[in-house]
Structure 1
Amino acid sequence: MKNIFTPLVFALIVGSVQLAEAGSGDQNRTTDRATQMTKQLAQKTQLSEGQYVKVRQLNVRMLNEVQETKARLASDPAALDQKLAEMQAHYEWDLATILWPRQMAVYTQSKADLMAFSAR
């Protein structure tokens, strides 16, 4: 199961690396990235307006937590890996409370497709 989360966490980290290096524009970039992630999810899962707002808030919170965690645990890669995997699991748990079952199935399938593609 750890193998499932690790590629997703690294994808999230790679997407947020620029955010951590930015400076005072961090919050704007974080919200822009969260909006981009939410739009991508909305296209795949056909989110309602209420779901869109909740997922976007979840994405903003997740990206902020990733930035803080990377800064705090930069000197301990193993602990960082573990914490990011826990954060990804928590994110997916929260996402499952927002999405309907068929939407969650689409999200899960999209992850599987992404991992299959990145393994090639």
Structure 2
Amino acid sequence: MKKSYCALGLLLSLSAPLATQAGQGNDNVTNRATTMTRQIASKVKLSEGQYVKVRKLNLQMLTAVAELKNQYASDPTTLDERMAEVQMHYEWDMAAILWPNQMTAYNQAKSTMTALSIH
């Protein structure tokens, strides 16, 4: 479970620079999803179709995370459980979008980024 939190943290940290932007709400989530998708695309070399699907998936994940944070702000245990579910579904959907060699590159990029963020 700790690994899934690290992966979710990685995905959210990839878009952290946009979190300080002036825009709030849907525009901010959309910008963060686009930034995350671009960063993934630079590491994994997505086709146009994959880029569109990954961006949609990132948008869904970021929206779900924001909703969970609002809904379970006072219940950290439930929040952790729900975040783990979102992460599991995200990883499953990514595996369905990416080709095997891309999935390998994605996992390597994730583990490298996660290892750097732990220090």
State the TM-score, normalizing by the size of structure 1. Answer: 0.86
Question: Which residue of structure 1 lines up, in the alignment, with residue 41 of structure 2?
Answer: 42
Q: Tell me the equivalent position of 1:114.
A: 113
Q: Hey, what's the Cα distance between the residues in 1 that align with 2:40 and 2:12?
A: 18
Q: CA deviation at 1:11?
A: 4.0
Output aligned runs, 1:3-82, within 5 Å. 3-12=2-11, 15=16, 18=19, 25-82=24-81
Amino acid at match of 2:44: T
C-alpha distance in 1, partners of 2:9/2:61?
A: 13
Q: Tell me how far 1:6 sits from its aligned partner.
A: 1.3
8 Å contact kept, 1:13–1:66: no
State percent identity of aligned pairs. Answer: 47
**Paired residues, number:** 116
Q: RMSD of the alignment, in Å? A: 2.2
* CA–CA separation in structure 2 for the residues paired with 1:5 and 1:49: 27
Q: Structure 1 stretches (4+) deviating beyond 6 angstroms?
A: none
Which ranges of structure 2 fall in alignment gaps of 5 or more residues? none
1:98 lines up with 2:105 in the alignment:
no
Contact 1:37 1:59 in 2 (8 A): yes
For residue 12 of structure 1, report the CA deviation from its aligned partner: 4.5
Q: How many angstroms apart in 1 are the aligned matches of 2:11 and 2:50? A: 21
TM-score using structure 2 length: 0.87
8 Å contact kept, 2:10–2:114? no
